[in-house]
Amino acid sequence: MKSLRSVVIVAASALLIAGIGAVTMFAGGPGDLTTGAFPHRIQSSIALPESKQGIDQRTTTLTGEFVPFNADIDFKNGETGEDLFRPNGTMKSREVYYKQVEGLPRQIKWRAAIGEDGVTYMNDAAFWMDGSRQRVGTRDADGTYRIQTWFEGGAAEHMSTVLAADGSALYHRVLRPDGTLAYIGENSKGTIEEKVFSDNGQPLKYTQRSLFRTHLIDYYPDTGIAKTDFLMETYLVTAIYRDEAGNITQKREFTFAGMKVVVYENGVPKYAQFWQRLNPFEAQKQGKPSVFHLNSVAIVDEKGMEHWKLWFQSGTKFEGKPSIPMFSYESLDGLPTEESGHVKVSNYTDAGCLRVETWSDAQFGKPLRRIDYPQDRGCSTVEMPLDLMKEIPFVAPPRTVPDPEPHHP
């Protein structure tokens, strides 16, 4: 008896010779020159695919024209399968069966019908070991593919998916065994929206992605209250943080130049900071951590309008050094600085000494009074607002948001 190696070699040789004949025929020659030359060529071939495919052996039966008719597949896990082909050699269908259980009929695990091109799934169905439905997929006339799956037993729906003709996800919904919604995602005109829910139906995460905009919200577990809310646009990232009662604790705006911070108390704005980014190009182009230096602090009203603001000396040379005052604005009539009719402006030297004070009829209006402080008579300094200058811990927005999880048939 010939060894398996001999059979494989003979089969490969036969297919090679048949292929050469086909090339000759389609090249305009006199026909298949091999016809009749090897009348005893075998009508089947055995393939031993790589182990990563999970296939132990694949036996293909050929027609008289040496075109595949069907293929029997033995998987390494004991399951079996069969492929059927059209007269032109394209795959027509595929079936996979569970490992045979003695005394019971063979149980189908999965089957699929393939389109005329031999590669496009037209429909498919999968079954649990007991024969109950596990999955059904069908292709619409426009090329979209609809998939529905069920939990074991075939009664409770698990997932519902719609894929575009190119395989990208258009819609995906996931239910729990008790019927509660766990996830829903939709791709509409280039905008992908995803929602994740807790066991009690409250939102856990919300994500919206488009070409120039991403919106990401994380919620406190089981309450539906947003914990962090990140709106990421091309040149601006806005971050809102809330406590477990839903009150805003801080709001941050990230730009190329730096970070504006508004700190809230009992849900009401209290003061603001601006942190200059000292390494914007390295942070943006090379992905290095941002280095910030406190540039200004301000007292604000409940609408976030500034009533007093102090600027500090800025620049890379001040990295890691105490903030040095540069100048300040202060409203003296209770109105926001930009609306006030009585504003006091204080200027400081590079050493932080008070140099001149000016009172004007508006933030940038006509001077009403001026006091100069000669530097040879000592240094008058401002009392630093340390309670407004402290760094407030925060969760940074992600640099990038992962693409949605692909769902393919």
Taking only the tens place, the pLDDT of each residue in 297-326 is 999 999 999 999 999 998 877 777 788 999
* 295 belongs to a structural domain: yes
* 79 belongs to a structural domain: no
* 360 belongs to a structural domain: yes
* 14 belongs to a structural domain: yes
Query: Among 313, 296, 315, 309, which residue's Cα sits nearest to residue 353?
Result: 313
Taking only the tens place, the pLDDT of each residue in 3-34 is 323 322 223 333 222 332 322 222 333 333 33
> What pLDDT does 401 receive?
54
Q: How far apart are CA 259 and CA 283, in angstroms?
A: 13
Share of the chain above pLDDT 90, in %: 65
Residue with tokens 């059209």: 86
- For the chain, the average pLDDT equals 84
Region 239-246: mean pLDDT is 97
Confidence of residue 124 (pLDDT cuts 50, 70, 90): very high
* 212 belongs to a structural domain: no
> What pLDDT does 400 receive?
62
Query: Among 175, 228, 144, 185, which residue's Cα sits nearest to residue 404?
Result: 185
Domain that holds residue 381: 247-393
> What pLDDT does 23 receive?
27
> What pLDDT does 279 receive?
86
Decide if pLDDT at 37 tops 60.
no
Share of the chain above pLDDT 70, in %: 85
The count of structural domains within the chain is 2
* 273 belongs to a structural domain: yes
Which letter does DSSP use for residue 335 in this model? S
Q: How far apart are CA 95 and CA 204, in angstroms?
A: 40
Taking only the tens place, the pLDDT of each residue in 394-408 is 999 987 655 544 443
> What pLDDT does 314 receive?
85
* 120 belongs to a structural domain: no
Confidence of residue 232 (pLDDT cuts 50, 70, 90): very high
Residue with tokens 């040379």: 317
Taking only the tens place, the pLDDT of each residue in 152-167 is 999 999 999 999 998 8
Taking only the tens place, the pLDDT of each residue in 350-376 is 889 999 999 999 888 888 999 999 988
* 91 belongs to a structural domain: no
Q: How far apart are CA 102 and CA 105, in angstroms?
A: 8
Is 160:173 a contact under the CB 8 Å cutoff? yes
